[in-house]
Each structure stands twice: as structure tokens, then as C-alpha cells.
Structure 1
């Protein structure tokens, strides 16, 4: 059993005295001065508060005669001390001794620093008195902050209170997060993690509970996604893979209305359907990029289509032309970017179109250009286009100097007609759509054949 005298207590650190006072259940011990704290501890342990007032710096005869070790200021011991005989002895049980500050001897004889427990006590002693008396920081927060819909993570262990349930359409941002626009016009923040986990895409109708915005936030946040396009989120996330969904031929015509002669000729002579796989082909200066952009303007006027322009390997000035036409590219890379980066960017947008189609939507990818990617990469990208049975569709229209193979529609431009300003600039002999009767009927297909024959004779 270890013993402490008044002398030892007076030379102990304030952290040690507070620890002893706390174990002895001394009320308000943090407000007592050192001398009062020592007297109180001695009295609580059955000693005499007025006894043994020897100086801490002058060792007694008993100390020197018995070769004992006494404690200096700061807790170091110079020599062993025998059992004191004074009546003001304070005894510590083994449990109390475990709570005393300890020093371990490291290799080389140095004494280690205070234990983490002692350091923590020291920080508490150095903290402002009003902080200690008023309790934890979160308890001192203004009541209106604690009562808000989304309480602080420290106050609730990282859990948020659920607020009202909202439903709305999501719009994905460039950083991966999204904003949900509710039916009442309010907006709710959707984290990038939820977008990835639930594979959300632009236009998805999402519902779920929310929490109110915190002090540093502008919008309320969606706690979790419960439904996607009316179906439970779990079912939407674990549904059948896009590649395994049943595919049918395109039968729904994309009715293009435009005053542009070349685009009007494309819509009439080489009809496109939801799920078509089309390539605008032609040599340099045939006007492929211009035709694709004007086609995109016409398609953007059709309701129910999610238009995704993908510009990779194009001239920098063409990026501005697309934006001026009211078409914001999903990806915009100029011709300085290598083929690997182009293919990766296209694949990311193709995956986005697949998710839209798998959930019953209709996506149209306008890709300028597939040149420089190789035959295999171009065919792989075009192969993603399809019409799903009883579902959505993914349509791809891309530019390329020559068809890649496997297209359902080839739109061949004539460079001679383009450079001389004669429109429409279609090479009718090299252009056409497979099974046009599925899109425009038998009579429409016959009318197309007659028009093509008449134009070829001009």
C-alpha cells in the first residue's frame, strides 16, 4: 500500500490533487485553492489539516537518516522514503494507486512523458473555468441550432433526424452530386455517393426523406433514396443488366421538324427511330460536324428525349458553336486529347445513356467524332444503341469519315455538294436506313424510294 503525506500532497501537481479529490467525492474541488484542496483531502482521509507543515524544500531528519526517497516538485523522487509516522498520513488503496500518474522508464534510462490519461487531465485543468463549469461544447450550442431538423453529427453520433419526404426530378452536376427539384419548386441536395450507389441519371424521378440544412449549408439534403421512377430503389439498383434486356427493332420514328434542307432530307430520306444506330459519314470538309449539330437542335425540340452531346477530338471553335445553339455538351474535349482519353469519355456517357434506357427513358447520344478510335472501338460504342422491349431506348448518332459497320442508318454527305453550296448535300446512293417500313410504314418506304430515285436523276 502506497502512502502520501501532507508534504507529498503539497508538492504534487494540481492534476493529481484533482484526481484524488474526485475519488473522494469532494464537492466543488476545482474551485478550491491548492492549500484548501490539500487540507480537504487530508481531512477526508482521516488526517489532521493543521499537522505536518514542514517545508517541501527542507528534508527532515527522518528523511535523511532513513535514506528514504522524498518527492520533489513535479513528482520526481531523489531517494527512498521509509514509512512516515505522522498522523497526517493519507493512504491510497491499490485501486487509487492505479489512477496516480506513472512514468515508465524507456530504453537508455529516460523517463517517458505523462500517460495519455494524465495529459487529458492536464488539458482539463488548463481549460477555461467557464468551459468546465458549463459542460460539453455541444450542450452550449444555441438552442435554435440544436433543435434544427439536421442535428450535428457529434450530438447524435452521426445520425440525422428524418424530415419531410420529397419527390422530384434530379439533375446531375459536373462534380457528381445532384440537385432534386421538388414539385413545389424547392431544391434538395443529393450527394455524389447516393448518385453513384443508386446509379442516378438526369431526369430520374426520386423520392426520399430529407433533413434541414445546417448552418454551413444552403439546401436541405436527401437522407436516402427510397424510390426511383416509382420503383423501390433496391429493385432499380439490382435490376436486370442492360445487356440482358430484350431488344427489338426501332419502330418509333423521331419526327424531325426543321427548315435546314440537309437535316430535313436526313429526316425524310434516312429516317431515324428511337434506338437507331446511325453514322454521318463523309470526307474532310463535307460538313459532318455542322450537320450533326443542326440535327441535335432539331432533336432537342422533341419531347421525351434526353439529349447527350459528346464532343471529343473536335476543333476548339466548334465547342462554342454548340453552346451558342443551346446544346450543352455532356463531354467536351478538343483535338489535342489522345484516343484513349476520348474513348474513356465516350464510354462514360454511353453508360449514362444505358441507365436512362434501362429505366424506361429515351436517350440520344450525338458523338463528334469516332475518328481515331479504331474500327473495334467505334463498333463497340455504336453497338450500345438499341430499343428495349417494353422499355426505353438508346439512340446513337456519330460522325466518322467512313461507316464502321453494323449501323442501322448511314447518312453519307457529298463534299462536292457542300463546298458548292448545293443542298441537301446527301449522297443518296450511299445513304439509307435498314427496314424503313418499320418507322414510316409501307407507303412511307415506297415514297422514300421514289424520292431517292427522282433526286438521283437530277
Structure 2
């Protein structure tokens, strides 16, 4: 749809400038972009001035931005900037220690029904919501009405898009892909986007893999982190957080399956000593 250029962000004012839906689509604008261009005064039937054309986006010529390298062709690397969750929640503390997540991580939170996947994702959202420089988006796909209500009541992050329990697999997939596409544009322009998806279970496997595959840390650029719940790993994750329903159902926390959880190249996020500590913890868990 259409939008506005805020003159004094983030507050709205009568001096804000209207920008048409056609301009937003053509320039692939997303919330937070800084744009410039000539403005015309409002006509008699209009309330706001209008942007005639988009000359620059985030300081670059609009044509250069539009013709930039395709997102999938941007060079990427394994995540090396860890998210510090700073939470006293035992499950989040265990994730931070045993399955660290960084900017650009590709994460699934896995486990059978009633293992606490949605609750873990909601707590992660709360921990990430207070961090500066992150564009955080929550997508609910195939969610129960009670889960949708819980996300809305929590207040930390309001879902940006929702496809409920009765939605078809196609509708759920389209809902997820729209939010991922927006996050890709943010990352391509140097921002740090995080998309939380609950869940991937109701979409076809190829749609789940495509959504998860979008996550990456762009070399000398932005990042797109995707954290999604799923009964089983999708494939291609850089981090898997596996929850143990036997622990969750008996209120024993943290509820991580230490052996099944883990992060690729953890030394890039926690250093060699941290990676060694993770390996030792996994070895001890295997001996139990």
C-alpha cells in the first residue's frame, strides 16, 4: 500500500509527505528507509504534500539501489556477532551457552507437540525486542487462536502477519514469504533484520527451506536472522535448538536436548574457549 515520509520520525505530523503505493513497489521501499525527492503541495482535496519522485534511498541514488546486486548473490559468511540475550530464563540461558545464535543465523527450535517451542520463541522475542539496531518481525503461521492471543497480550513484539490454524498451507507459506521478502530488502541495504516464525509445520518442505535459506550474514553489510519453530529440523540450519518434551512436561528447565542441540562454527560466536565448553557439555550429556 501507500505510505508516508516522516519529517520528524517516529512521530506523525501534518508536514509528513505522502508516497504512493506505485513508488513504494518500484523502489522496493521498506519501513526505516530514508528517502529524498521533490515534493508538491497538496491539492484542494488532499491533506498532505506528495512526493513527486524518489531521488535517493539511504543516501544512494534510487536507480543504483534498484539495480544493486540481487540478494541471493550477495557474499555471506558464517555468523560471527552473537546475540547476547541477557535473560535469567533458564531455557534462554541454556540456548545462549549451548546453541548460541548470531546475526545471520538460520535457526529452528524443534521438538514434538507440547515441548514448549512456541513459548521458547516468545521468550526469545522478548529478549531480542530490547536490542538496538534490530528490525524484529513475528510471523504466526498455522497458530492456534490461543497462541495468537498470547502473542498479542505479551506486548513485547506484536505479530506483523498472521495466518491462523484454519489457513491453507499456501496461505501460510505466502504469509511467511511476504515477511521474509521485506526482511531481505532491509538486510540488503545494510540493516539487521530478525524474523521469528511460529511455525513451519504447516507449509510444504520446499517453502520452509526457501524461507530458512534466506537467513545470512552479508559480508561488510547487513544481516537476516530467521528463527522458526518446527517439529523436525528443516535442513541447512546453522543452529538447532532441540527441546525435550520429557523435561518440559515435568517442569524441569532448561528443557534443552543438549546432544541434539548445537551451532555450526560456534567458535566464531563464543571463541575457542566457549566452543570447547560447549563440546564438553555435550560429551557429559552423552554419558548420562
Shorter chain as denominator, the TM-score bin is: over 0.9
Equivalent residue, structure 1, for 2:5:
180
- 1:449 counterpart = 2:279: yes
- Mapping of 1:22-101 within 5 angstroms? none
- 1:312 counterpart = 2:137: no
Distance in 2, matches of 1:220 and 1:450, equals: 63
From 7, 29, 33, the equivalent of 1:200 is 29
User: Larger RCO: Structure 1 or Structure 2 (Cα < 8 Å, ≥ 6 residues apart)?
Assistant: 2
Distance in 1, matches of 2:135 and 2:69, equals: 22
**The structure with more radius of gyration:** 1
1:181 Cα deviation after fit: 1.6
Distance in 1, matches of 2:182 and 2:203, equals: 20
Deviations 1:370-418 (A, max 9, x none): 1032322221211111111111111111111000111110000011111
Distance in 1, matches of 2:278 and 2:250, equals: 25
Equivalent residue, structure 1, for 2:239:
409
Q: Secondary structure at the match of 2:193?
A: strand
RMSD (CA atoms)? 1.7
1:244 Cα deviation after fit: 1.2
Deviations 1:258-304 (A, max 9, x none): 12211221122110111110000000011111111110111111111
Normalising by structure 1, report the TM-score: 0.59
Q: Secondary structure at the match of 1:429?
A: coil
Query: Structure 1 regions of 5+ residues with no counterpart?
Result: 1-175
Normalising by structure 2, report the TM-score: 0.93
Equivalent residue, structure 2, for 1:120:
none
Query: Structure 2 regions of 5+ residues with no counterpart?
Result: none
Equivalent residue, structure 2, for 1:18:
none
Q: Secondary structure at the match of 1:219?
A: coil
Q: Secondary structure at the match of 1:278?
A: strand
Equivalent residue, structure 2, for 1:126:
none
Equivalent residue, structure 2, for 1:302:
131
Distance in 2, matches of 1:260 and 1:211, equals: 53
From 188, 194, 212, the equivalent of 1:382 is 212
Q: Secondary structure at the match of 2:104?
A: coil
Equivalent residue, structure 2, for 1:328:
158
Deviates more, 1:207-216 or 1:250-259: 207-216
Distance in 2, matches of 1:179 and 1:322, equals: 28
1:454 Cα deviation after fit: 5.2
Equivalent residue, structure 1, for 2:185:
355
Distance in 1, matches of 2:127 and 2:50, equals: 36
Equivalent residue, structure 1, for 2:121:
292
Distance in 2, matches of 1:222 and 1:422, equals: 57
Equivalent residue, structure 2, for 1:342:
172
1:211 Cα deviation after fit: 2.4
From 76, 87, 98, the equivalent of 1:258 is 87
Q: Secondary structure at the match of 2:248?
A: helix
Deviations 1:338-360 (A, max 9, x none): 10111112111111111111111
Distance in 2, matches of 1:407 and 1:335, equals: 26
- Mapping of 1:414-433 within 5 angstroms? 414-433=244-263
Distance in 2, matches of 1:402 and 1:266, equals: 17
Kept in 1, the 8 Å contact 2:259–2:285? The answer is no
Equivalent residue, structure 2, for 1:238:
67
Equivalent residue, structure 2, for 1:394:
224
1:227 Cα deviation after fit: 1.0
Q: Secondary structure at the match of 1:441?
A: helix
1:456 Cα deviation after fit: 6.3
Distance in 2, matches of 1:195 and 1:433, equals: 38
Distance in 1, matches of 2:138 and 2:200, equals: 13
- 1:434 counterpart = 2:264: yes
Total equivalences in the alignment: 283
1:430 Cα deviation after fit: 0.5
